[in-house]
A and B are shown apart, each in its own frame.
Chain A
Amino acid sequence: MEVATRLTWMQEKKLQNYFGEKQFSLLYKASVHGFSTDRLLQICSNQGPTLTVIYSEDQIVGAYMQKDYGEGNYLIAVFVFQETTITECKVGPFKLPMLFDKNVDGNLEVSIHLKEKTMYFNKNAMEKLGLSQIYISFQDCEVFRCEDLLDERKMSGLTELKESLLCAIRNYIPYGGLVHKVRILLLGPVGAGKSSFFNSVRSIFRGHVTNQALVGSDPTGTSEKVNLKCLLLINFITHSIHFNLQTYFIKDGKDNNTLPFILCDTMGLSEKEGLDMDDIPYILEGTTISVLYHIHPCMNCIGNHTVCPLLKDRIHCVAFVFSANSVGQLSHEMVEKIKRIRRELIKSDVVHVVLLTHVDTLDLITKGDLIDVYKCVPVKLQAVHRKLGFPLSDIFVVSNYTSEWELEPVIDVLILSALKEMLRAADDFLENFPLEKTGRCV
């Protein structure tokens, strides 16, 4: 028989979060290993903190123990898990194995009799837990070891991984050396997190959290309004403004070299206003305006652009940015708009990927889940796939730096992995680019 828990993913997640971002390893399952206290103690002693879960016909009841079975007297947290709520009461202190021992004198608040498949409560505990009876007969009992989701071992593994990603990105050379830097265009609805993604990437290469691009919570969009201000304030932007587009070089914190990619932030898309659809072909071609000035979104200014756009000035990869929170509720108009932009990209053969931001704000998702985040958000990935038609493997999940003061390896790894895939996508674009065209205009 398979040793697998009866908890659903959702139930396990709720318990994990409730007991402080834990990961559970199933050690003992009564229906497989036998309803025997001896067997249970053989397997579960000296395993550190454990969680015992009891399954009755219609209830899940359990006990969380912060210490080993072998150690002294301790308080035990007994809980009842009903649909979405967890009711807890502390019992004890007593020696942990006593929980399973029916020969103990005195009136234990809670005891589990494996052989009889019954769990007993005294009146007090019963009331505190909101139960209607003093005993529950159960079908199965499972014991898990509890480990921290983000323990030291994983943190150092993540740091190692981050370093290797950083190294790969720093040493990236665009396909065939056709250009020195690849340009990645960030496109997406207002407030999706485009500017925040730029800031996050910059922070990682700076080695601390920075906020160059202004981010905001203005429902009509932030980036458009601050375009000019940004440009004047920050000499960092050495390049020009592309219509409603901001280009940033990102400098590498360590040796002040610029990195082999440029992120281009745009004003958000919205149903009515916002980035103009007609500008997109020009933005992709890298049409530049020699004078820096602020353009109103409705103004369609296409004069004065360089005649023969160079390969190095054009966009090599597009990342559509969506918030995982709202991607399910995109309006019909927005979906149509994105599909139209996509057709435009297909026409110019521009490779594109999707960035899903704001995953940290999803229900039940904690920092520890970011390690294996793709397993935790299948519904969101499916939503993007179904609504917008992007293949699943082109969707990358990130969590931007917004309120953090310090860098976190687990967040860095997500962002850098996405960035690395974008560089590869740019390579695919360059490889696909007809060479006849590059001959003249590189």
Chain B
Amino acid sequence: MAVTTTLTWNEERSFQKLLGNVSLRLLYKSSVHGRSTVEMQNRCRCQGPIVTVIYHSNSIFGVFTLGHSSDMSESFTEPNASFFFSLQKNETMEMKTVVLNSTVTFYRNNLTFCFSSYYNQKLSLNFEESRIYIPRIFEEELIVKSHAKSTFLECEVFRVEGIKDEAGYINRITRAIQHRNSLLADVRAYSPYADLVSEIRILLLGPVGSGKSSFFNSVKSIFQGHLTRQAIVGSDVTSITEQYRIYSIKDGKNGQSLPFMLCDSMGLDEKEGVGLCVDDIPHILKGCVPDRYEFSPQKPITPKHPTFITSPSLKDRIHCVAYVFDINSMDNLSSKMVAKLKQIQKEVINCGVAQVALLTKVNNCNEVLQDNFLKMNKAMISQSQIQNVNKILGIPLSRILVVDNYASEREMDPVKDILILSALKQMFRATDDFLEDLPLE
């Protein structure tokens, strides 16, 4: 007899995504292996992180527990963070989640989860009679209906494969989505200091291939809900981006414009006469360079250029400069590049514009921030690349932002979104400081 899960392939994929792109391996299925907690324990003991899936009349719910707590001995009395989720078996396939500290006991063919913070509430399964008792919090948090005498149809246990580090995993995957959504709301709701302008302009400056155009694409992708490729990106010896572009981003397909614009430029090259011309930069900063201006590496724009903007106003100028670097190249920037950067920075400081550094292509985006996502963790801050940016450009640590652009994946990822949105938020703060300091005219 073939042992296959009752989950449809679609449902399985939703669960895999919910748990962070993991794989699920079916270990126990009550209808095949017997409705018995002993059978279940035998098969699921020492299997690492597991998820227990219970099929109820028109919903499915799951409990995800981590490896060290899943030894499934008689009971584990230490409360553990467990992740409960439910999926409605209808067209919308709505998912709900909640994290609860729980203890698990196996007793006389009963599997029971008790919740330390909800006295007297428990989830319990009686295998002999296929009965299930669903606690009130589940009705509230997971929209599963319970009846006095509810039965469950099937119970399956899977091993969860593909979890890299276990500590804090449950917290992170569940909180990541929440935090991402709240950051998204913050970015949407941003309004520049004292409404001096309606949209701030952030200029992306950096070496060829550092990920400037990809950063714009990534930000746009987050607001569109799927990967987008409006700015052409790629790798070549010379810059892929040849035009100056001022991108405004819509919130959703036909939504409103967001309160910021990203200005994408040609990449910098250490050689003179190649890449973005340093003499173009003051003009860009002042807002004299028009959208879609074709850069020419050898000669900077002059006021004679037909579309040169001769008297730019505050809204046309750059309000924040983000120096974009590939984090992996930070330790071996050539001295010529460093000299060029310092020259550029002088111009930026002359204009008094806000500055941040944006490091792209970080390898493990799960290990950048503290568990609460509110700042970079100590290990990250102490990395030589971060210290180098701090040293070379004198940018304070809180204004050094680390991201991993959407460059190799096909699906959106909440942890990546958090880094990108947090970077944007810090750029807004820097910009507000700049706007606040502007001399009143």
Contacts and interface: CB of A to CB of B under 8 A. Distances in A.
Interface string A1-34: 0111000000000000000000001110000110
Given A27-B27, A424-B228, A428-B228, A389 B235 contact: yes
A296 interface: no
Given A3-B159, A389-B234, A394 B229 contact: yes
Contacts of A421: 227
A153 to B, nearest CB: 6
Most buried by B among A3, A349, A421, A425: A3
Contacts of B159: 3, 26
Interface in B19-75: 25-27, 32-33, 42-43, 45-48
Contacts of A32: 46
Interface stretch (A40-48, A204-212, A231-239): A40-48
Interface string A372-405: 0010000000000100011111100000000000
A43 B42 contact: yes
Interface in B184-212: none
Interface stretch (B312-320, B324-332, B401-409): B401-409
A158 B240 CA distance: 38
B292 interface: yes
Give the interface residue-count category, chain B.
35 or more
A382 to B, nearest CB: 10
Interface in A344-381: 345-347, 349, 351-353, 374
A27 B406 CA distance: 35
B25 A26 contact: yes
A68 interface: yes
Interface in B219-246: 226-230, 232-236, 240, 242-243
A351 B3 contact: no
Interface string B1-14: 11111001110010
A393 B10 contact: no
Interface in A125-159: 145, 147, 151, 153-154, 156-158
Contacts of B409: 392-393
Contact of B214 (A33, A391, A434): A391
A290 interface: no
Contact of A158 (B9, B234, B236, B254): B9
A145 B45 CA distance: 17
Interface residues of A, number: 51
A102 interface: no
A157 B8 contact: yes
Contacts of B410: 374, 393
B42 A425 contact: no
Which label, helix, strand, loop or mixed, suits the secondary structure of the A interface? Answer: helix
Contacts of A42: 42-43
Contacts of A3: 46-48, 159
B371 interface: no
A424 B26 contact: no
Nearest to A351: B229
Nearest to B236: A389
A424 B4 contact: no
Contacts of A345: 232
Given A147-B2, A157-B8, A351 B42 contact: no
A123 interface: no
B9 A46 contact: no
Contacts of A342: 234
Contacts of A339: 236
Nearest to B245: A432
B347 interface: no
A161 B10 contact: yes
A4 B230 CA distance: 41
Most buried by A among B3, B32, B229, B407: B229
Contact of B234 (A347, A390, A428, A432): A390
A160 interface: yes
Contact of A393 (B240, B243, B407): B407
Interface string B400-422: 00000011111000000000000
B43 A43 contact: yes
B279 interface: no
Contact of B232 (A2, A161, A349): A349
A187 to B, nearest CB: 15
A380 B213 CA distance: 24
Interface string A420-438: 0100110011011010000
Contact of B242 (A153, A157, A346, A434): A346
Nearest to A371: B9
A33 B159 CA distance: 14
Contacts of A353: 229
Contacts of A390: 234
Most buried by A among B1, B8, B48, B407: B1
Contacts of B292: 434
Contact of A431 (B230, B232, B236, B407): B230
Interface string B234-270: 1110001011000000000010000000000000000
B393 to A, nearest CB: 27
B364 to A, nearest CB: 17
A154 B230 contact: no
Interface in B391-441: 406-410
A156 B9 contact: yes
A156 B159 CA distance: 24
Contacts of A434: 292
B417 to A, nearest CB: 15
A48 B229 contact: no
Interface of B: 1-5, 8-10, 13, 25-27, 32-33, 42-43, 45-48, 159, 161, 214, 226-230, 232-236, 240, 242-243, 254, 292, 406-410
15 contacts: A3-B48, A43-B43, A145-B3, A153-B9, A157-B9, A157-B10, A158-B9, A346-B240, A347-B242, A353-B229, A390-B234, A392-B407, A394-B229, A425-B229, A428-B229
What are the 8 closest A-B residue pairs judged by CB atoms, nearest first? A157-B9, A392-B408, A389-B235, A428-B230, A25-B25, A42-B42, A389-B234, A48-B2
Given A26-B159, A153-B8, A393-B227, 18 more contacts: A3-B47, A33-B45, A33-B46, A46-B3, A147-B3, A147-B4, A151-B2, A156-B9, A157-B9, A158-B9, A346-B240, A390-B234, A391-B233, A391-B234, A391-B408, A424-B229, A428-B229, A434-B292
